Structure 1
């Protein structure tokens, strides 16, 4: 029965030695009086994979039989839910066992006493998924009445959408294991919480005598650390030294496996966890990873799949997306407005992909909406804080749930500040963003979102923000509606913290998107003080066609602009104002002349030679074209990390007999190709250039 998503769902708190998956086919009803349908868990009931495809259904009832394994006798039987949207009311054998509100956060109920003597029971889950989602956390799910951001919302995802399972544990058990690297990166700082007969909840039995509770923590390959628990009602903190520390990084994503064992008169509980030794800090306008400057080359990932909605079809789907992001040259994924399935972060940790994590949004500003938004913060940090891949915490996004009016309302500013302070009190080891994109109040990073369909318009907006120091920028929020958004809600200059773009993109067709990705990204690389960017987005979703990949994750036509080259460590930036795909500039007499600068984000200086190689328009450079003896005629520059080089002059002629051709700028270092940029030249206006004219080089 349990053949759907069979992997253990909670690798960050692993009790897989005593678990039983409940995923699979359940009975389903749209009212409490009938059970004529079936649903496949854990897929939202709107999805094809669920077997229902029930849209705008507010209530649903799930039912299935459960039986605890015989060898769990004497243990407490606990029912776990990864996430259910939005309110779940649970009963076993007709006995209510609990209720949970919040469509993204995990929850559990001890159902031992509701099972019969043989450990069997009928499990019923009633789910309420309001059509009006504006006051609840729902992220990109569409609402009726609709959110102000409905244009970029998707099909709702209601009901059970993450795994359901049973676990067995003693009456006194490990409730939480928080792992953080020490400041010196030579140890793991652990904080363990204990609950049960001796813990704060007093759920069963009588208190144990002092010294009867013992905790042992072991890092693989290191000596165990044993602690006598004198007061199990309080979290216990201790240090796990590492003999020869090996730092976690994208280049070497080394993880330390930690096993924590709790022994009491109730029995033995054991969980596994993992973390990495790494630091992420801000220093002035820089982000530092393990003390070295980090330049974010990020991509937006909204966590949707064909047929299965916000639930990955299988565990491999997370790996596929992470590898697709890396293949496109990105080093960070911004998981947008969604507390993703924990398996995603597990794979990000082991594959070395950086993650910007953030909770789901509400739609309007009311006391109830703010309370529900804030209720996600502690579970987010508790569930995901062990993951070294998470290097940035996000909170609000573009004033969603704040009525697009943070600058004009002190109450909204206070809500933004309070969310930031709540997060930092829970975890000060990572930078946090209070309101991504617009109107910051208290933040460790100043980020901003600018969209423009054309690179020249984009460049002008970026220039006024980064070069001219303008405190805001124009944002189109609807047809014919343009508003000026400020970086800081109170209008003051941005603080001396890292500055980065965290959403951008342009172009309607896939060719236009590839062209914009090239030019808009290169424009950002002109500014040495910038800490990075996040391109929108990794793949198409429903009506959105902004992805580098299609919704099914297949490659799209990028017009010969491979994203991996644009997102490379070393790139060439032509001083050209681009006109249109296939015609970046017009050279009526065939003469092509412009300057090019080199941007290098490696750890050491390099000497780079720019070698021009002609090829067919819209075709990528291939090694078969070669550069051989042409290297000797190339222009060279010594380039320091994160410092734009001095301009190098490129003087060429369009090959005879063609009207349009692509000039590849091949970057060579020590005989190896380390980067590649291209420009398309035409002898007459093509496409949009026929209207816009023939602008000169920058």
Structure 2
């Protein structure tokens, strides 16, 4: 006991010293980088950032901005430290800064905007894809609004703050306490270690300016009804409008297949004749056009897309709950995808790099990705939509501290964490915003509010709210977390185990009558590749190997085991993980994406057996 206390004291002293060093500390340049950064001209995000609601008149504001790091609470600065490349976090190599900020300081950005003379009936909207965590926006020295949330997009109408015939000054203040605050932050910690990674502070997704008419479509909600063969479109209008109708069209490769007109605020139902369904094998997308009309005059028009697909829960011939896609059982198998980069941290170097991970995952024969405690830019989900990749979307975790009582399918005695009212509200606000922002992407089939009891609170209430708020998807209440009862069943649609490295499943005799049985994490087989690791020593995996042959043999054993478990009632599994991340080397690819550790054709053939199993479903 004395030895334990001494060790604890040493750890706490060391942690305090390290914590002091994290503030405004220069970070070491990574020893590896992804291939996309070798040509500086190709670095950046120049694609249209909102694929579900496109307009023509927009300007990308990414690029080099002025930056300053100042003590928390300082006023708008007049002097700046240098330049930072947006949209890369200040701690990343691609930002050009490589400095930590910490909870006692704030990061400031500044740039000028050259706008055309403001015309009557035109407005300028300033959009942010993602800023971690609290951001305040200033236009020409005036604060125009504050946003709190690192994973949801937001915007401000800057029209009232524009000074005619002058360049506009845009400043952003960002505060991010990382793991020193209660906010959702995923795997970020001030002192990276083990499965916890470098902090991500500031702008990490595209900043862009959009010119819109006086009355405009501010958002869309596209809801498929697979059984009725309809797509429901709700267009939200910016304000009380002079428009008298909204015209909505669905097109199949340019050919009109459905059209309807409704009054503003009314849901438009498109009845699709000879419908084409969306699935991993055939990810068909209907183009959607939405026009805001006043008589014959078109006030505004946006372009979107939608798909007919259905995710549901059904019972097989043995009375076991199964996860169904479009009315048929499809075993869902994919990697845990954390979306980190050695050079950009949260932000891929460019769109080609972002797409690379999805393409390689598909080439390896996976049909699903679990996006782990991070939310990606909208363009990432668009690529999943068009390529036919199912997505399980996690809520980024935060405010840890409760006990984890997960025991391989046995309901433990742990209770939910008692979070402060502020902490709970921060979570609930951002979870709703994340669902709203990503509702229209058909690839997302499962919401995951909690992971492994990390900040897990009010599980039953949060799960029931999520199920009620989005009835088009299934809800995995706590992947590998504390299982909370709802009467005689686990709350939510699933019970989800985590097991390293072995493939296991919840007991179908206990849980399978009410809940879908899934293996939310397993594997984690580690293989460091010399010259492709975050650090030269002390890298790790859940089970480590020294050569690819041994790794392949062990991986095949896990897949063979999955075949047995599927027959017994397993509906999905998630292998850890897509790539190495910092000191973790249990990826199918190295962190720099330059080495794929197992043969892609061999993996695809191996995985196909999981989808070919015949399972009878009672309908």
TM-score by length of 2: 0.78
Structure 1 counterpart of 2:183: 136
Alignment-derived partner of residue 614 in structure 2? 641
C-alpha displacement at 1:261, in angstroms?
Answer: 1.0
Partner of 2:195: 152
For residue 524 of structure 1, the aligned residue among 558, 562, 569 is: 562
Shift of 1:435: 0.7
Within-5 A mapping of 1:461-472: 462=504, 465-466=506-507
Provide the alpha-carbon RMSD of the alignment.
2.5
Paired residue for 1:80, among 122, 127, 131?
127
**Is there any run of 5+ residues in structure 1 with no aligned partner, and where?**
199-207, 403-411, 453-457, 472-492, 571-599, 603-639, 644-698
User: Any conservation in 2 of the 1:222–1:242 contact (CA below 8 Å)?
Assistant: no
1:288-312 residue CA offsets vs partner (Å, 9 max, x unmatched): 1111111011111101112111111
CA contact (8 A) 2:133 2:175 kept: yes
1:198-597 paired onto structure 2 within 5 Å? 198=241, 208=242, 212-220=243-251, 221-222=255-256, 225-229=259-263, 232=264, 235-264=265-294, 268-284=299-315, 285-364=321-400, 365=417, 366-367=419-420, 368-402=422-456, 412=457, 415-441=458-484, 442-452=491-501, 458=502, 462=504, 465-466=506-507, 493=511, 495-505=513-523, 506=525, 507-509=543-545, 511=548, 512-527=550-565, 528=567, 529-558=569-598, 562-568=602-608, 570=609
The Cα of 1:275 is off from its aligned counterpart by 1.2
- Is the contact between residue 213 and residue 300 of structure 2 (CA under 8 Å) also seen in structure 1? yes
* Contact map agreement 2:132 2:149 (CA 8 A) in 1: yes
* Partner Cα distance (1:430, 1:189) in 2: 16
Change (3 A) 1:65 1:305: same
Cα deviation code 1:647-689 (max 9, x no counterpart) = xxxxxxxxxxxxxxxxxxxxxxxxxxxxxxxxxxxxxxxxxxx
Q: Which deviations, in whole Å up to 9, do the C-alpha atoms of 1:189-212 show, x marking residues without a partner?
A: 1122222244xxxxxxxxx4xxx4
For the 8 Å contact 2:114–2:167, the answer to whether it is kept is yes
Once residues 329 and 378 of structure 2 are traced to their aligned partners in structure 1, the CA distance between those partners, rounded to angstroms, is: 28
Partners of 1:391 and 1:170 in 2: CA distance: 35
- Deviation, structure 1 residue 29: 1.0
* Cα displacement string for residues 344-373 of structure 1 (whole angstroms, at most 9, x for unaligned residues): 000001111111112211133422222222
Contact 1:522 1:566 (8 Å CA) reproduced: no
**Structure 2: 5+ residue stretches without partners:** 1-40, 71-76, 316-320, 401-416, 485-490, 526-542
Residue of structure 2 in register with 1:34 after alignment = 79
Secondary structure at the aligned position of 2:274 is classed as coil
Q: Between Structure 1 and Structure 2, which shows a larger proportion of helix residues?
A: 2
User: Which residue number corresponds to residue 155 of structure 2?
Assistant: 108
The secondary structure found in structure 1 opposite 2:291 is: strand
Shift of 1:267: 7.0
1:601 is the counterpart of 2:611? yes
Q: Aligned to 2:436, what secondary structure does the other structure show? A: helix
| Counterpart secondary structure, 1:157 | coil
Question: 1:517, 1:566 within 8 Å by CA — same for their partners in 2?
Answer: no
Query: Taking structure 1 as reference, are residues 377 and 514 closer, same or farther at Cα in structure 2, changes over 3 Å only?
Result: same
Aligned to 2:410: none
Mapped to 2, the partners of 1:125 and 1:547 lie a distance apart of 36
Match of 1:12 among 43, 47, 52: 52
2:260 and 2:557 map into 1 onto residues whose CA distance is 57
Shift of 1:218: 1.2
Q: 1:53 aligns with which of 73, 92, 98?
A: 98
Paired with 1:299 and 1:519, the residues of 2 have a C-alpha distance of 17
Equivalent residues of 2:226, 2:326 under 8 A apart = no
| Contact 1:64 1:124 (8 Å CA) reproduced | yes
Cα distance in 2 for residues equivalent to 1:559 and 1:93: 55
Distance 2:599 2:282 in 1: 33
Partner of 1:651: none
Q: CA deviation at 1:71?
A: 8.3
* Partner deviation per Cα, 1:530-586 (whole Å, 9 max, x = no partner): 112100001101111010111122334449994333322x2xxxxxxxxxxxxxxxx
Q: How many residues align?
A: 513
**Structure 2 CA distance for partners of 1:180 and 1:59, relative to 1, 3 Å:** same
The answer (yes or no) to whether the contact 1:172–1:264 under 8 Å persists in 2 is no
Contact residue 518 and residue 563 of structure 1 kept, 8 A: no
Aligned mates of 1:137, 1:560 — CA distance in 2: 35
- Secondary structure at the counterpart of residue 382 of structure 2: helix
CA distance in 2 between counterparts of 1:495 and 1:642 reads: 16
* Structure of larger gyration radius: 1
Quick one: structure 1 residues 243 and 93, their matched pair in 2 at CA, closer, same or farther if it must change by over 3 Å? same
Which of 196, 213, 219 is equivalent to 1:170? 213
Contact preservation (8 Å) 1:249, 1:352: yes
Check the 8 A contact 2:333/2:572 in 1, yes or no: yes
The structural deviation recorded for 1:119 is 6.5
Provide closer, same or farther for how the CA distance between residues 532 and 223 of structure 1 changes in structure 2, counting only shifts above 3 A: closer
1:357–1:164 CA distance, 2 compared to 1 (3 A): same
Deviations for 1:399-424, whole angstroms, at most 9, x for unmatched residues? 0013xxxxxxxxx3xx1112112212
Give per-residue Cα distances to partners, 1:115-167, cap 9 Å, x unaligned: 111373100001111144440110011146x9xxx631111111000000001
- Paired residues of 1:185 and 1:245 also in contact (CA < 8 A): no
Alpha carbons of structure 1 residues 513 and 537: separation in structure 2 relative to 1, 3 Å: farther
- Indicate the SS of the match to 2:477: strand
Deviations 1:577-612 (A, max 9, x none): xxxxxxxxxxxxxxxxxxxxxxx633xxxxxxxxxx
TM-score of the superposed pair, with normalisation by structure 1: 0.70
Following superposition, the deviation at residue 321 of structure 1 comes to 0.6
Alpha carbons 1:333, 1:353 under 8 Å: kept: yes
1:29–1:36 contact (8 Å) kept in structure 2 = yes
Looking at structure 2, the residues matched to 514 and 71 of structure 1 have their Cα atoms a distance apart, in angstroms, of 62
Name the CA distance, whole Å, in 2 between partners of 1:9 and 1:110: 18
**Counterparts of 2:306 and 2:585, CA distance in 1:** 36
Structure 1 residue 34, shift from structure 2 partner: 1.9
Question: Equivalent residue of 2:356, what SS?
Answer: helix
SS at match of 1:550: coil
Higher relative contact order (CA 8 A, sep 6+): 2
- State the partner residue of 1:578: none
* Whole-angstrom CA distance in 1 between matches of 2:520 and 2:330: 15
Per the alignment, in what secondary structure is the counterpart of residue 52 of structure 2?
Answer: helix
